[in-house]
Amino acid sequence: MARHLDEQIAGRFPVGQRLRVLDVGMGQGTQALRLARAGHSVTGLESDVQMLKVAREALATEPEGIRERVRLIEGDGRETGVHFLPGSFDVVLCHGVLMYVEEPDAMLAGLARMLAPGGLLSLLVRNADALAVRPGLAGDWAGALAAFDSDSYTNRLGLPVRADRLAALTRTLDGIAAPLHTWYGVRVFTDNVSNDADLPAADELARLLAAEDRAGRTDPYRHTAALLHLFGVRG
């Protein structure tokens, strides 16, 4: 996912430009801190108080030059207009958030308004067109059959959430003046790997990541990915 983001930023903005980045639902701040280390000015918006605490603790360990490039705000991604003026950012990230939003179109329109002309919107969503893959590979046939006709599922935290379909999101992005530029699949081969699994040896990990990266860019494999990474560009 980080590789996709860096690739799209490099292809759209001049080398060395300090970008204004908004990370909506930033969680523990992994991407926010990574982009700040790359020289960008980053604003993180997070509604979960505990996650915000973790992000602040992580930020406190960074050098002063990085800390001064990051602003952390407690807030909901559905209320970006309360916190920021339209066109305030060059890049807006919304990763792993839409699955918790019952009606995401209004939120997406608000995110698009935050972008300056030519700005980049990065969305990471659960792939509703591949919901049957995980239960099917696990031998949960009842779950697989139910998933074919659904856009909802239970995540690994045990929470009921929703997924998105590529075609529907493409129409939404067109409608909010941030049409789809490109997209990738994420976790084509490794979605059923436990979060607690140990990482393989370095050479094996490199091959795994290379295979995932290739599949995430290649049809028809990317259509079966657990997650979709979409990039829209503000007109």
Q: Please tell me the distance from the alpha carbon of residue 152 to that of residue 26, in angstroms, as a whole number.
A: 23
Task: Record the pTM.
Answer: 0.95
pLDDT at 196 over 90: no
pLDDT at 57 over 90: yes
**What separation, in Å, do the N-terminal and C-terminal C-alpha atoms of the chain show?**
24
pLDDT at 154 over 90: no
pLDDT of residue 155: 86
pLDDT at 148 over 90: yes
98 phi/psi in degrees, rounded to 5: -60, -25
117 phi/psi in degrees, rounded to 5: -55, 130
Residue-wise pLDDT tens digits, 84-128: 999 999 999 999 999 999 999 999 999 999 999 999 999 999 999
What is the side-by-side order of every strand in the sheet holding 89-95?
A: 70-74, 41-46, 20-24, 89-95, 115-126, 227-233, 180-186
pLDDT at 61 over 90: yes
What residues contact residue 188 under an 8 Å CB cut-off, 6+ apart?
212, 215, 216, 221, 222, 224, 225, 226
The pLDDT mean for the chain works out to 95
Section 6-28 average pLDDT: 96
Q: Please tell me the distance from the alpha carbon of residue 164 to that of residue 178, in angstroms, as a whole number.
A: 17
pLDDT at 73 over 90: yes
Q: Which residue has the tokens 């919107």?
A: 121
pLDDT of residue 197: 86
pLDDT at 169 over 90: yes
pLDDT at 31 over 90: yes
pLDDT above 70 coverage of the chain, percent? 100
Q: Please tell me the distance from the alpha carbon of residue 234 to that of residue 112, in angstroms, as a whole number.
A: 7
pLDDT of residue 158: 86
Amino acid at the residue 102: E
Q: Please tell me the distance from the alpha carbon of residue 42 to that of residue 219, in angstroms, as a whole number.
A: 33
Among residues 21, 169, 161, 17, the alpha carbon closest in space to that of 84 is found at: 21
pLDDT of residue 159: 87
